[in-house]
Amino acid sequence: MVLKAVPQDESILKVKNLSICFGSTQVLQELNFDLKKRQTLALVGESGSGKTLSSRALLRLLPSAATISGGEVWFHSARFGELDLLKAPEVQLRQIRGGEIGMVFQEPGSALNPVFRCGEQLMETIRVHQAMSRRQAREKSLQLLETCRLKAPKRIFMAYPHQLSGGQKQRVMIALALAISPSMIIADEPTTSLDLKVAAHIVALLRELQQQMGLSMLFITHDLGLVKKLADEVVVLRAGKVVEKGSCMQVCGQPRQAYTRALLACRPPLFERPHRLLTLSALADQEASQVSAAQAQSGLKKATTPAAAGKKLWEVHGLEVRFRQKSGLFPGRKKYVQAVKNVSFDVYEGSCLGLIGESGSGKTSLARCMLGLIPASAGEIWYKTHRLWQIDSARQKAIRQEIQIIFQDPFLSLNPRMPVGKAIEEPMRIHGLVKGREGRRRASLSLLRQVGLAESYYHRYPQAFSGGERQRICIARALALRPRFLVCDECVSSLDVSTQAQILNLLKDLQQQLGLTYLFISHDLRVVSFMSDSIMVMKEGEIIERGQREQILHHPQHPYTRELIEAAQ
């Protein structure tokens, strides 16, 4: 690959007083930073701080409602020299997009075209910018997939996006960003929805490719823990304003601003177990000199040792889940994928059982089988004294009222055409739990208050809320039937660290107030460590290790568990 270098002493990108507004609302105010050759600059902040908007403004990819109200973006182009990207002609800008600045989007599933094979999308990008035959473009595409550490590049080349895992899709996105040997790439939350092990691999890959190709990188994230592993310089944004910037060592090691310290403090500790996590709102009124990341963690009251286990609520014996694999036009012998393999465990009342594992390990299949959403291929599931799902329909309906689930994506979990108040009332109406419209309305308002939302939200639709607010609504809906058992399926994985801390604290509070029992599923060991009394580690459909929280974290027996702990540190 040809390296497009700039002189050693020059910045490749200079952003001066960049401002963006939606109508009369200013959402980004006078952003300034310099990105130097071969360096990584991280833009950090919670959701809505202006990180993604500022990165898209650099290439003039803002939504139609957004307007750049001021500023300059000077890019050192190998082809055009010094160029203000905000004023560059569209013809030049089209050559810079992809040709000199690559983009790795946050959600590869949305960024990749679902109707084209991954190889075709790579070839298209290459041939738009370079005069190549299809054969040459194919060879280069395969080389790029191999460079991005994808096993079986020919299979990936022929695959559609939906046939790949999250980590594989993200590597394809990185290959697309590098297709024309750019001098700079913008990575917008490239690891947000990935499990810790895959995320660590993606970060290591980006760092390796940066060193090999001499890339400059603008890395956007809400996770300061991730920034420590990758960035040279850091800019911290809050509500569209820069609150702190400097070297990674200074910002992450000795932050000057209370907001930056709060971002560090919101992240759950791995080995300690505080009673509650600090949130940005809790720290808003404290003086900057009074809060440090170390003080924030050590100052929290540690969680007490869990009380003796209550009665056995669930018993799972030898559970197996298999899915039939499609065989094409001429099916022969039936083929099956084993998602869950001979799994046995117990869940006790009032406890939280954490289930940790990488994507595709069978965590969600196990939980959905327990809830009766997918059938078991073998084994037994007992809830209290009932063997599920071999009971009459009336009893099944009564049990479903006691066991509920909070799904990973709150937006997809809510009907966009139904006000959230009605969404919370719907399960009450179906199960006949609360009689009368007025009774259900009062119960719905009470649940909104219980999860920390205003009563005025009752008539609003899901699209009017942030991710954290939508997840609170989903929790309220799950509580509408007064359940005894909740499955939390990756319910905080897509949230920024500050919102995540609020939701985790809420779940802890509700468990204490209502005596709930949780099965808490996550790929983030820090989150599982904070929530769980005991932990199961799942890999390739099998439970490879289980035990009390302290035993798993401090004395892991299986090499894979040790890998997960290392990735979380």
pLDDT at 193: 67
Domains of the chain by start residue, with CATH = 1-100+184-254 (3.40.50.300), 109-179 (no CATH), 267-298 (no CATH), 350-372+391-568 (3.40.50.300)
Q: What is the pLDDT of residue 467?
A: 73
Q: What is the pLDDT of residue 5?
A: 43
Phi, psi for 501 (deg, rounded to 5): -60, -40
**Residue-level pLDDT at 291:** 45
- Cis peptide before 389, with omega less than 30 degrees from 0? yes
Measured CA to CA, the distance from residue 445 to residue 225 in angstroms comes to 38
Residues in the chain: 569
User: Six-digit token pair at 304?
Assistant: 């007490």
pLDDT digits (tens, 9 = 90+) for 123-138: 998 888 888 889 999 9
Question: Does 1 score more than 90 pLDDT?
Answer: no
pLDDT at 391 over 80: no
pTM of the model: 0.76
Q: What percent of the chain has pLDDT over 70?
A: 91
Average of pLDDT values for 57-66?
Answer: 87
CA-angle at 553, arms to 505 and 523, nearest 5°: 60
Instruction: Give residue for tokens 């559970």.
Output: 319
Which of the four pLDDT bands, split at 50, 70 and 90, describes residue 443? Answer: very high
Q: Which amino acid is at 409?
A: D
Please give the pLDDT value at position 8. 45
Average pLDDT over residues 405-418: 85
Q: Which token pair is 557?
A: 């027996």
| Phi, psi (deg, nearest 5) at residue 486 | -125, 135
pLDDT confidence of 294, banded at 50, 70, 90? Answer: very low
Residue 296: the pLDDT is 45
Q: How many other CB atoms are there within 10 angstroms of residue 298's CB atom?
A: 12
What is the reported pLDDT for 301?
Answer: 52
Closest CA to 363 of 493, 231, 259: 493
- The predicted pLDDT at position 282 comes to 65
Lowest mean pLDDT among 23-32, 128-137, 300-309, 327-336: 300-309
Q: pLDDT at position 112, please?
A: 87
Q: Is the pLDDT of residue 305 over 60?
A: no
Q: What is the predicted pLDDT for the residue at 164?
A: 80
DSSP letter string, 268-330? PPSS--BSS---HHHHTTS-GGG--HHHHHHTSPBPPPPPPP-SEEEEEEEEEEEEEEP--SS
The separation between CA 78 and the C-alpha centre of its own chain, rounded to angstroms, equals 35
Summarize pLDDT for 37-47 with one digit per residue, the tens: 889 999 988 87
Residues forming a β-bridge with 249: none
Residue that the structure tokens 């490879």 belong to = 544
User: What is residue 274's DSSP assignment?
Assistant: B
Q: How is residue 470 written in tokens? A: 């939508």
Secondary structure (H, E, C), 86-131: CCCCHHHHHHHECCCEEEECCCHHHHCCCCCCHHHHHHHHHHHHCC
b/e 71-87 (16+ beta carbons within 10 angstroms → b)? bebbbbbbeeeebebbe
Supply 541's token pair.
């459909």
**Percent of the chain at pLDDT exceeding 90:** 31
Give me the phi and psi of 229, to 5 degrees please: -85, -15
Residues 6+ apart with CB under 8 A from 443: 425, 428, 434, 480
**d(C-alpha 97, C-alpha 35), whole Å:** 17
Strands 386-388 and 534-539: unpaired
Give the per-residue pLDDT at 108. Answer: 75
Give the Cβ contact number of residue 2 at 10 Å.
8
Instruction: Look at residue 295 and tell me whether its pLDDT is greater than 70.
Output: no
Place of tokens 């399960």: 427
CA-to-CA distance for 461 and 458, rounded, in angstroms?
8
Q: State phi, psi for 172 to the nearest 5 degrees.
A: -65, -40
- The whole-number pLDDT of residue 34 equals 92
Q: Tokens at residue 172, please?
A: 């394809």
pLDDT at 330 over 60: no
Average pLDDT over the chain, rounded to whole? Answer: 84
Signed CA dihedral, 232, 196, 120, 90: sign only: negative
pLDDT the model gives residue 228: 84
pLDDT digits (tens, 9 = 90+) for 454-469: 888 899 888 878 777 8
pLDDT, tens only, 4-21: 444 444 789 999 999 998
- At 547-559, the pLDDT tens digits run 999 999 999 999 9
Query: 485-489 and 517-522: which strand pairing?
Result: parallel
Give the whole-angstrom CA distance, residue 491 versus residue 468.
10
* CA–CA distance, 260 with 245 (Å, rounded to integer): 10
State how far the Cα of 89 lies from the Cα of 204, in Å rounded to an integer.
36
Phi, psi dihedral angles at 251 (to 5 degrees) = -65, -40
pLDDT > 80? residue 359: no
Mean pLDDT of 435-463: 89
Give the per-residue pLDDT at 192. 72
pLDDT at residue 285 is higher than 70: no
How many CB atoms lie under 10 A from the CB of residue 344? 13
